[in-house]
């Protein structure tokens, strides 16, 4: 015998269920789905529990979107990775030295000099670490790879700050890194330290002129230019190893110093 409610009509099952069309939870006694209007009992009955109704069905659309986003990121990263020099692509993939990007110049950063893997920096001396980072930044700066310079700059600056009893060459390196990363105060500080010990040092004068120009002090820069030109011949005659290593930079600075205002 079919149970009847107080009005004498047939009643749906007393227990709560779920709409077969949209999965909405139905209250006991409901004849139509309050969400989509489907009559109760129409279609195949659902056997989910209330906990399950808020699980896979509600998460699935977001999961599909997330997977699609990951696929897009992977595609873009794949296109950028190992791009050739001069391609205009300059991001995290090209910041790291790789054989595809840097060719043989990646060797200083590779175990065994093969250019296939990054070295264990902990095995390098502080001076070696600082020098390799300086070389890497200068190569990237000359190639116009500003993102790569920014990637290595914090490591390079920290490595030079940690040097104890830094040489004139290392101070010059520190000043040049600061120059290409737009830190004129650091460039000036390294120049001042060099010139305190050797007032006519060409690398110190070169740095001092550049630091002055970075801050808009053109008069100060010109004064250092004149000091550089006056000291150029006598200093080069000393044949300091530092001058030999940076001869091209010194000659370029002297050429710029000779230009009229």
Residue 6 counted as domain residue? no
pTM for the model stands at 0.57
Residue 5 counted as domain residue? no
42 vs 140, residue with greater confidence: 140
Flag whether pLDDT at 194 surpasses 90: yes
- Cα→Cα distances 130→113, 117, 124, 140, 212, Å: 18, 19, 9, 16, 25
How is the chain split among helix, strand and coil, in percent rounded to 5? 60, 5, 35
**27 and 125: one domain?**
no
Residue 23's domain comprises 17-78
Please state, in angstroms and rounded to a whole number, the distance separating the CA atoms of residues 243 and 63: 62
**114 and 243: one domain?**
yes
Give me the pLDDT at residue 63, please.
Answer: 52
Read off the pLDDT band of 50 (50, 70, 90).
very low
**27 and 97: one domain?**
no
Q: Which two tokens stand for residue 204?
A: 């110190």
**199 and 254: one domain?**
yes
What is the arithmetic mean of pLDDT over 197-220?
Answer: 96
Of 78, 97, 126, the residue that ends a domain is 78
Helix (H) or strand (E) segment spanning residue 26? strand 25-26
Residue 10 counted as domain residue? no
pLDDT in tens, 97-112: 444 434 444 444 444 4
**138 and 184: one domain?**
yes
Burial class of residue 142, CB neighbours in 10 A (0-12, 13-18, 19+):
exposed
**94 and 188: one domain?**
yes
């Amino acid at each position: 015998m079919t149970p009847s409610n107080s009005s004498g009509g047939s009643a749906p099952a007393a227990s709560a269920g779920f709409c077969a069309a949209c999965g909405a939870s139905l209250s006991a006694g409901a004849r139509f789905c309050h969400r989509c209007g489907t009559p109760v009992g129409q279609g195949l009955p659902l056997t989910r529990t209330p906990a399950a109704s808020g699980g896979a069905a509600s998460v699935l659309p977001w999961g599909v979107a997330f997977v699609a986003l990951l696929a897009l990121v992977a595609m873009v990263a794949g296109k950028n990775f190992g791009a050739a020099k001069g391609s205009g692509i300059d991001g995290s993939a090209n910041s790291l030295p790789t054989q595809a990007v840097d060719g043989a110049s990646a060797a200083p950063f590779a175990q065994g000099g093969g250019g296939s893997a990054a070295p264990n920096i902990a095995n390098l001396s502080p001076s070696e670490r600082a020098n390799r980072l300086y070389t890497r930044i200068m190569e990237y700066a000359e190639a116009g790879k500003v993102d790569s310079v920014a990637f290595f700059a914090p490591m390079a600056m920290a490595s030079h700050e940690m040097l104890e009893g830094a040489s004139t060459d290392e101070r010059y390196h520190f000043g040049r890194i600061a120059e290409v990363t737009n830190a004129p105060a650091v460039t000036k500080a390294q120049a001042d330290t060099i010139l305190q010990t050797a007032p006519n040092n060409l690398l110190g004068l070169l740095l001092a002129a550049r630091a002055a120009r970075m801050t808009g002090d053109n008069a100060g820069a010109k004064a250092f230019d004149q000091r550089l030109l006056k000291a150029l011949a006598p200093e080069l005659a000393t044949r300091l190893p530092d001058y030999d290593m940076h001869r091209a930079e010194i000659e370029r600075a002297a050429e710029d110093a000779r230009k009229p205002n």
